[in-house]
Structure formats: C-alpha cells, structure tokens
Amino acid sequence: MTPRVILPGATVGVLGSGQLGRMFAIAARRMGYRVHTFSPDTDTPTGQVADLEIVAPYEDLDAVRRFARQVRVVTFEFENVPAETAAAAAECSQVRPRGEVLHTTQNRLREKNFLASNGFPLAPFRPVRSLEDLTRGLAEIGPKAILKTAGFGYDGKGQIKIHALSAAEEAWRRMNGQECVLESWIEFEKEVSVVAVRGVDGSFVHYGVVENDHKNHILDITRAPGRVSPELAAEAIEIGRAVLEKLDVVGVLCVEFFVTTSGKLLINELAPRPHNSGHFTFDACVTSQFEQQLRAACGLPLGSTELLRPAAMSNLMGDLWDHGEPNWAAALTLPNLKLHLYGKMSARPGRKMGHLTALGETADDAVATAIAARNLLLP
C-alpha cells in the first residue's frame, strides 16, 4: 500500500532541539508545516523557531507519547535520543527514520558490527569490556590504535589514542569501565563524507562527496565538491546507497569515510540525520539536506541536490567570543558569504555557535573566502 503523504499544514515533531533541528524547522515552516520540538532544555535553537517547544526529559515516556499524539510524524535531529524514547513515540505516530536505525547508529559497537556483517569497508576493530579485552585487542590489531566509548560519542568525545601496549592500563582506567571499541589506527590522506537521502518509496539522492578538515576532532572546514577522483566518488556514493538500503533508512544519513594513503575508502562513522558537513546545502543546493529530511519524513518526492555553485562551510566555535563579540560587519563585507547563528545563549570553547557558508567560482575560492571571513570576525 502506498504510504499516505503528509501535506503542508500538518505538524511535524522533532526529538532534539539543537542547531540541526533549527535549520530543519526553518525549512519546514517555509514549506507551510508546523513544528513541535521535544527536549529537556528550554529556549533552544530549535525551540526559538518552532511553533511549540516541549520541555521534558527524554525518559518521561508519557510526555513523549503526548508529544507524538500531537504530530503527524516524528523525526530526529540528535542520534543520542534514547531508543526507549523513539519506541514510545512510535506507539502514537510515525517515526522516520525508524527507531531501530537510531538504536544501531548511536552505539559504535552495534554500528561497526552492522557494517562488518554486511561487508562494508572499515578499519579492524575489537569490542572492549575489560582490560584483558583491551590488551588482547592491541595484540591482535596492533599497538597503535584508538579506544572509543561504545555509546554516546560525537565530535571526538570519548576517545583515547594508544601508541603502545604499555599504555593500555592507563587508557582503560580513564574509560571508567565503560563498554568500548578498539579501532586500528588508520594512516589516511583525507576525510570525506557523503550526505544522502532515501525516500519512503526507496528513491535515493545524494550531495556528492565533500572533503572535511577537522580541528580538535571537530569539523572545521567542508569543501564541496571534494578533491577526489570520479572513480572514488562513485564508489563512496554507492557505499552510501547500500548503507541506507541495508538500514532501511527513510530520511537523511551521512557516511563519513577515511581515504587511506593507498586510496582505499574506509567507513569511519554513520549519522542518521542531517550532518554538519551538509550545512552548505542550505545555501548552495536546489534542495537543502534539511528540506530533504522533511520531504522524506512526510512521504513527498525528494528534491534536486544540484550544487548551484562550489561552496565551503566553516564552523564558528565558542572560542571566537573569547575577546568579545565577533566583528560580524567586517566579515559580511565579503559578498559571497552567508552567516548562520544558532541562537545559543552562551559561548564556550568547543561549542558550535554557528557557521559561515561561502560560494565561489571554484571550491578553492570558496574555502579562501570562508577562512578570510572567519579571520575578519576576530575583534
């Protein structure tokens, strides 16, 4: 049976209330939908532009059910929403992507087991639940590795580099007994990602391969398109398609890759929602990743992902406020620049406060503009 389309005028619900939900809500309201957001926080980036901000713990399942009854479909902007929350919402409304997708991707060990069991390329890894597991894992995959918490990690949080077997005991102590994943250290040339979308009918679109530079484990600059060969780009996109199909995703999913020094693609992580490396689509593509999330959740046809001009995105971290208010006017003297601020009430080092999108004749031009604009922000 063909799924019923949820038309403009209906209300959509968002679990989570950060900047991804904010940009989703802007796209939804522009298309005539109402938006309710649910999270434990108040005056949030999403709540500032939503029609209704519901403040309650994710563990308050009765509140979750009341929220879900008021909307036609529920989606996510934050993959660390508890699986029980998604299940409670599904009792009262459609949830897209399914809660099972969230359950798989919010835990590194479950995610890697899913990828490995389906033959996707990724670095050697081992589950770690004890010091003995860790020392055995290092012996098997090599002493140069990364130990990561299995659950609730993002932007480099919950990660420890290990350079020798002798460092195992201290690394395990710092993890405080949490379930972990040990990953072999990868010598890589660059990091790239594919943001892709799958509709209710199985339709598939993507935004090509973009190239990402990180600083302190947090995305710093995205360049679109990325500097990869056509053959590697086609391979990355096909891997992305296969991941969405195997997970049965309805919505947006980002696949992050390492490109090794030998030119091989290895999956680093999955994100079952709009992604920081896709923020440029808001300004540079016919249809943004946020509008695609809405279209997919509501059963509408997916839009064109055409890149209108080469683009670059630079994150604005809380450190920019260390010496006072950034000089917005100076940066905005550059004509091919778009400013996005998330409405967060306080700036602190390492916190994503906004981003800049720059357009150019080439991706190099766009990157240069984005960096120059961010430098102009310094008081």
Whether residues 204 and 143 fall in one domain:
no
pLDDT score of 95:
97
Q: Are residues 208 and 357 in the same domain?
A: yes
The residue among 133, 168, 184 that closes a domain is 184
pLDDT at 157 over 80: no
Percentage above 70 pLDDT, the chain = 98
Looking at the structure, do residues 178 and 223 belong to the same domain, yes or no?
A: no
Residue 283 lies in a domain: yes
pLDDT in tens, 205-225: 999 999 999 998 899 999 999
pLDDT for position 104: 95
In this structure, the answer to whether residues 228 and 373 fall within a common structural domain is yes
pLDDT digits (tens, 9 = 90+) for 231-288: 999 999 999 999 999 999 999 999 999 999 999 999 999 999 999 999 999 999 999 9
Residues 199, 347 share a domain:
yes
Give tens-digit pLDDT for 62-94: 999 999 999 999 999 988 899 899 999 999 999
CATH number at residue 43: 3.40.50.20
pLDDT band at 151 (very low <50, low <70, confident <90, very high): confident
Give yes or no: residues 335 and 351 share one domain: yes
User: How many separate domains does the chain show?
Assistant: 3
Going by pLDDT thresholds of 50, 70 and 90, the confidence category of residue 158 is confident
Domain that holds residue 158: 124-184
SS (H, E, C) the chain: CCCCCCCCCCEEEEECCCHHHHHHHHHHHHCCCEEEEEECCCCCCCCCCCCEEEECCCCCHHHHHHHHHCCCEEEECCCCCCHHHHHHHHCCCEECCCHHHHHHHCEHHHHHHHHHHCCCCECCEEEECCHHHHHHHHHHHCCCEEEEECECCCCCCCEEEECCHHHHHHHHHHCCCCCEEEEECCCEEEEEEEEEEECCCCCEEEEEEEEEEEECCEEEEEEECCCCCHHHHHHHHHHHHHHHHHHCCCEEEEEEEEEECCCCEEEEEEECCCCHHHCCHHHHECCCHHHHHHHHHCCCCCCCCCECCCEEEEEEEHHHHCCCCCCHHHHCCCCCEEEEECCCCCCCCCCEEEEEEEECCCHHHHHHHHHHHHHHHCC
Q: What is the pLDDT of residues 32-60, one digit of tens each?
A: 999 999 999 999 999 999 999 999 999 99
The answer to whether residues 166 and 201 belong to one domain is no
With bands split at pLDDT 50, 70 and 90, how would you rate the model's confidence at 1? Answer: very low
Mean pLDDT of 319-342: 96
